Each structure stands twice: as C-alpha cells, then as structure tokens.
Amino acid sequence: MKIVSIVGTRPQLIKAAALQPVLRTRHEEIFVDTGQHWDESMAGAFLAELGLARPDRRLGLGGGTHADQTAAMLTGLEPILAAEAPDAVRVYGDTNSTLAGVLAAAKLGIPVAHVEAGLRSFDRRMPEEVNRVVADHLATWLLAPTRTAVENLRAEGITRGVTLVGDLMQDLASRVSAEVRDPSVLEGIGERLGVSLTPGGYVFATVHRQENREAAAMAAWAAILSGAASPHRPVIVALHPGTRAAMGRARISCGPDVAIVEPQGYRTSLALQLHAAAVITDSGGVQREAAWLGVPCLVLRESTEWLEAVDDSAGRMVIIGLDRTKAATELTRLAPVPEVARLARERAATLDLPSTGAAHAIVTALEQSPGPQAPCPQSSGESPHPQSPGPQAPGPQAPGESPHAQSPGPQSSGESPHPKLPGKSRDLRPEGAG
Ligand code: UD1
Ligand code: UDP
C-alpha cells in the first residue's frame, strides 16, 4: 500500500517513531510534516534522536489561531494528497494536524486510518476533543489504544473498522526504557541542566494544555509547583514554548526552587520521569508514561482520556485539577520524603515494561479492508446524542457511569471486520504497571 503519514507535533513524531520502522518493511510511506511544532527542541531534535526518516514534505505551518492553522494545513495538504493519490492517509492523535489531515483526505475520498481513535474527555471545550470526534467519525480504520476507547466509539455508533491495537507510546517506552533505568543517567542530565539530580530527589513537571495557559490557571499551577519545591527537592519543569510565552505575557513566575528548562529530548524525558519522586503534568503522553514507569503522578486537569492509566495505578495517579491543597496532600502520601529515594531506586531496578505490539497490529489492520462504513446512527431517525447544551457537552456516557464499566473484551466492536491479533496478549497493560 501507499500510505501518506501526517505528523506535526512532538507527540506525533514520537508515535511515528514507534510505527515507521514496522510500516516501512511492508509498505511505501510518504511522510508529511505540517510543521505545527517547529522549534528544534519540539520537533527537529526528535527526528534525529528517534531515527525517523526525513519528512518527504515539510509544510512549515505552525502558529496562529486554531482556524488559521487548520485552514493553512488544509490548503497545504490537499495538493499533496491529490498528487500522491495514496491508498490511505494515516493520522495520529487529536491535534490540528490530525484534523486537517482527516478533512483533506475525506474531501478527496481517500480513506483515513486514525491512530489513537476513540479517546474522549467528554469536554468539548478542549480543542483536542473536537478534533478527535471529527477524526473518528470520518476515519475508515479506527485504531484504538484502549478498551475504553473502543467502548467510546461503540457508544457513538462506530463499530466498523475498529481495532484494539495497543499503545504505540508504550511500545517506544518499552524499547528505550532499558537505556535510562540506571540512575547514573541523572548525572549528565543534571550537569546539562545545572541542577543536582538524585533518585527521588526532585519532581518532574510539564504543562501545556490550552486551559492551563489562562492567567488564573497559570497562577494556580505555578503555586502548586512552587509548593512542591524545596531546596532539597527542586521541581524541574520542561516547559513548552507556548506556555513559556503565556507565562511571560501574564508575568507569572514560580518560586526559587522551581527550575524552568527547555523541552527535553525523549530519553531525557523518560529518565527524568523514571527517577523522580513524582511527576506533575497535564500531558496525555507523560501521564501514561508515568503510569507505565510506576511513578506517582499528579494530573493538572479535571478529567483524563486515559482512565485505564488511573485505574491501574493503584492510587499512584491522581487527578488534582488545580487544587493546591490536594496536590500537597497527595505528594506527601505518594512521595514521602524519608522513603522516596529508596522507592525511586527500587522502581528503576525492577522496571520491566512490555511492548503492546501496537505497531504490528496497526499495520495488520491497515492491510485488511474494513468494508463499508456502518450506517450512520442518525439513519434510524433517532439521534443518539442530544444537541450540545453549552460549552461542556456531555458525551454519550451517563453521568457517574464509567464508560469502561462493561468492557466488552479485546476486540469489542461486535461487527469488526478484523480477526483477533494472533498471539497477542489482550490485556495491553503491563502487569503491575502504573
Ligand atoms: C498541540 C496540540 C495538543 C498537544 C500538543 C503537544 C492542538 C490543538 N493542540 O498543542 O493537543 O498536546 O501540541 O505538545 O493541536 N510554539 C512554539 N514553538 C513550537 C511550537 C509551538 O513557540 O515549536 C508556541 C507558539 O506560540 C504556538 C503555541 O506554542 O502558537 C501553541 O502551539 P500549537 O501547536 O498551536 O499548540 P500546542 O499547545 O503545542
Ligand atoms: N516529552 C519530551 N520532552 C519534554 C516533554 C515531553 O520528549 O520536554 C515527551 C514525553 O515523554 C511524551 C511526549 O513528549 O513522550 C508527550 O507529548 P506532549 O506532552 O507534548 O503532548 P501530549 O501527549 O499531551 O499530546
């Protein structure tokens, strides 16, 4: 098959690094980078570090409002897709690059494979939620990372073309974690960052969600980070350039024991998480990595798409929103100062993170025709979803009901055209992880 893969942001480059080597053994890939992220530390560095192919096309379309950015990407992608006439377009996740890729392909009648299909926060104030919903309703292959994601799709009437494939990011973390498990890696990182780093002797943080770039939110999480930091336990924040700029505009700063550093490379990010006392983040990827590595994690959001990571964390992952008191209480509970160095050493020494086999499962799914799309649920004359009542549109899930309470099993879409993946563990989460 000829497949156009569209990336644009840091996490998409990371996911592409997990998939590309497998995909290219069997198919022709045209690799297109929208340039949504363009700083060396957000994009270029990952191409080199993760051994990705040089993009065949680079659009350089970062920055601007959501509409500006998406519109420019649509215009940029359309002629490429028309000229290449691929068998499929592959998009990852929920960014504006994802949305533009899906729309451009759908308008040209090119089938779309959506990696990380089915995730929902049920909060349509999030730009990512809008992007995911559109992508999933237009995609032909819906490659879901978790059972909850499969269930979410089913609740929206999407069952055809759905395959539970596992999580590409876990696979990459599995491949690379052995390289960072020795705590001696902290010496070089600490030297480079100008901070003394010991196992359990610091907290690692990242913040970039749109809602956390509002002035009040920035003041709130800056207070949380400052409260977590002390001379004996600094907080290292690898700060997204967009958040850094927003902090500058709002004149928000953190306390003296909070070290704000540039975005780090992938291995450094994994190492800083693995050996930390705890992680504080609003990132979807960092949240999951912390869970897989077994590191306590405080999530600076009111909800998460990664319910399994929370459920499997044995209480080590906590959604704290921007609640400073909760942050302090949970940090004391999860990273007690007298034990934290021992806990961090034990965690690193016993780390055993399996691969989910997602790359192979995705390529296998792509090689099978998903058949015609299931009829639209509306065709029964009844819309399954009420009109949005306001900014916080409810998802299909009933309040108070866990969307994965009735996990249907591995290949949950009753009508899936895809056979089960041969020999693959259906529990995609590592035993005891998180
Ligand atoms: C995007 C995604 C988000 C994802 C995140 C990963 C959307 C709607 N959001 O958010 O889902 O979690 O990427 O990191 O697509 N900037 C730079 N240099 C860069 C990149 C960004 O300075 O290399 C600054 C610019 O001021 C830019 C701002 O960050 O306007 C926001 O960047 P953008 O790509 O629009 O959104 P992210 O916040 O990165
Ligand atoms: N990451 C990184 N360097 C950093 C911060 C994060 O390499 O300084 C990695 C992190 O380990 C994870 C991915 O970036 O693999 C998550 O991407 P991001 O937080 O940008 O986006 P999200 O996952 O929230 O969409």
pLDDT at 312: 86
DSSP sequence for 16-35: HHHHHHHHHHHSEEEEEE--
pLDDT bucket at 330, cuts 50 / 70 / 90: very high
More confident position, 380 or 360: 360
* 2-170+356-380 matches 182-350 in fold: yes
What rounded mean pLDDT belongs to the chain?
87
pLDDT at 372: 52
Ligand 1 centroid to residue 306 C-alpha, Å: 21
Enter the pTM of the model.
Answer: 0.88
More confident position, 401 or 297: 297
Query: In the predicted model, what is the mean pLDDT of residues 45-63?
Result: 97
Is pLDDT above 90 for 395? Answer: no
Under 8 Å between Cβ of 66 and 94? no
Specify the amino acid at residue 147.
R
Terminal alpha carbon distance of the chain:
37
Is pLDDT above 90 for 386? Answer: no
Q: Looking at domain 182-350, which CATH architecture does it have?
A: 3-Layer(aba) Sandwich (3.40)
Residue with tokens 């942001």: 9
pLDDT bucket at 371, cuts 50 / 70 / 90: low
Catalytic residue among 37, 114, 208, 240: 208
**Residue 201 DSSP one-character state:** S
Query: What residues does ligand 1 touch, defined as CB less than 6 Å away?
Result: 9-11, 36-39, 42-43, 62-63, 94-96, 127-128, 208, 240-242, 245
Dihedral sign (CA 395, 365, 105, 97):
positive
The 10 Å Cβ neighbour count of residue 414 is 9
Is pLDDT above 70 for 127? Answer: yes
**Residue spans per domain, the chain:** 2-170+356-380, 182-350
More confident position, 200 or 390: 200
Nearest residue by C-alpha to atom 16 in ligand 2 = 285
Question: What dotted CATH number matches 2-170+356-380?
Answer: 3.40.50.2000
Kindly state the tokens that stand for 265. Answer: 């490379």
Query: In the predicted model, what is the mean pLDDT of residues 367-379?
Result: 59
The closest ligand to the CA of 45 turns out to be 2
Q: Coil, helix or strand for 313?
A: coil
pLDDT at 2: 98
Is pLDDT above 70 for 411? Answer: no
CB 8 less than 6 A from any atom of ligand 2: no
φ and ψ at residue 369, rounded to 5 degrees: -75, 130
Is pLDDT above 70 for 97? Answer: yes
The reply to whether 37 belongs to the active site is no
